[in-house]
A and B are shown apart, each in its own frame.
Chain A
Amino acid sequence: MKNKKQSLTRKEAIQKMGKYAAFTAIGTYAILNPLKAQQTSPPDPGGGPFD
């Protein structure tokens, strides 16, 4: 029974909770910016060949 509860998706949970959920849940987002130019793995700071 416990497992079943955990497998509810967030969407299903929100639907079940109806308007109450809409009132409290404010929506989430993430912003992902790709690199501006091609590059190889960045070096760790300091100790590079030009330092």
Chain B
Amino acid sequence: MYKKPEFSEQIDDHYLLWFESSNSYSLVDDIFYKLLQHYFRSRTKEEFVKQLEDQYDYSADLSEHQYRRIEEYLQQFDIASESVGPPKTFINNRTFSSKYYTIGKQSVQLSFNEEKVLNLIHPMIAHLETESQDHIKLQLFIRYKDDELQLQKNENPIEIFPSSEYHKLQGRILFHLINLLHDTDEKDWMGLFHASAVSYKGRGLLFMGSSGSGKSTLVSLLSAHGFALLADDTVPIKSGDQHLYLNPSAVSVKEAALPLVQTFWPHTQSHTPGIVTKGKGNLTYIPMQEHLHTVGVPCSAVIRVNYQKDTPTQLTPLDIKSALETLIPESWISPNPQNAKSFMDWLTTVQFYELSYSDFQEVLPLLKSLK
């Protein structure tokens, strides 16, 4: 017999379960949920089969099939926790170059062995660069060597990323900067959503969607029309108050969206070219936060964005299954049980929508009137 999920929460006509050993979520319908309850109540397979036969008129064959199905299902969560971290080694940084940044009230030193490495990080935070080398709170050393990217934070052991997975290095560094800005550490966060977010009159709106769905373009335009940018691409959400917080990174604008975004963000001296990637073309980073606020805002709506040429503007409710299938697999959600519980509780407090649009001007009044 396998272990029960640690938490379960009813959301609409589904149940959301969380399994601690693999940090997995599972969305099940009411029938599957009942079957699981029978499974956990039964001490043996025979007892389970008998329960199903008696209560649901299942045939013995179907009952046994369901038993196997449940065992196969639960087996997927029965993963031993990961082995110990990488060996404790440190970067020899004597020949490194450095740049300095101010994040809120704190200073950061970013040291690197190659320009290529700097180009991964600097465009995101170029607007925060400073000449001052005083009171450094966070030192980040990055080395590119043998197709690996190595990261060392202060005196901690290095973390290693394959160079093809440079987005993991970027995410890790961004997370260090978020923690520095908000005076937090990893355990304080419920998650880091792959989404973009703005606030309007003290309420947060979270936009999610696959790459190319137009999240960054939408928040760029909203930020020029009375909404305040909180975060582009990765949105931190705190465990305690379940509020959305600011991510200090500039907004990455893809080549195809730049002409439109530039009409509202025309001051090109603040634009920083990023790396060139296949598919996204040249990226341009544009800082759009007025100040680096450290006050969170409650999230009132999670909106899946779907930009399509010539499509009529529509904001419609989104079912929980589609919403979670978009949000969870692309986001980091804390494996800490308390934070996982917080995430599940939070899901019951927000409204999910789908926004289809082609004309941005039609979107504004819809979002402003969201309760």
Contacts and interface: CB of A to CB of B under 8 A. Distances in A.
Contacts of A25: 31
Contacts of B144: 50
Contact of B57 (A19, A39, A47): A19
A41 B167 contact: yes
B57 A27 contact: no
B328 A33 contact: yes
B67 to A, nearest CB: 12
B204 interface: no
A23 B57 contact: yes
A34 B25 contact: yes
Contacts of A22: 31, 56-58
Interface in A1-34: 9-11, 14, 19, 22-23, 25-34
Given A31-B76, A32-B26, A39-B332, A50 B277 contact: no
16 contacts: A23-B56, A23-B58, A27-B34, A29-B32, A32-B25, A33-B24, A33-B25, A38-B174, A39-B167, A39-B168, A39-B172, A39-B234, A40-B171, A41-B252, A43-B278, A44-B277
Interface of A: 9-11, 14, 19, 22-23, 25-51
Given A37-B171, A48-B277, 6 more contacts: A28-B32, A33-B328, A35-B194, A43-B277, A45-B164, A48-B166
Interface of B: 13, 22-35, 56-58, 62, 65-66, 69, 73, 76, 116, 119-120, 144, 147, 163-168, 170-172, 174-175, 191-192, 194, 211, 233-234, 252, 275-280, 321, 324-325, 328-333
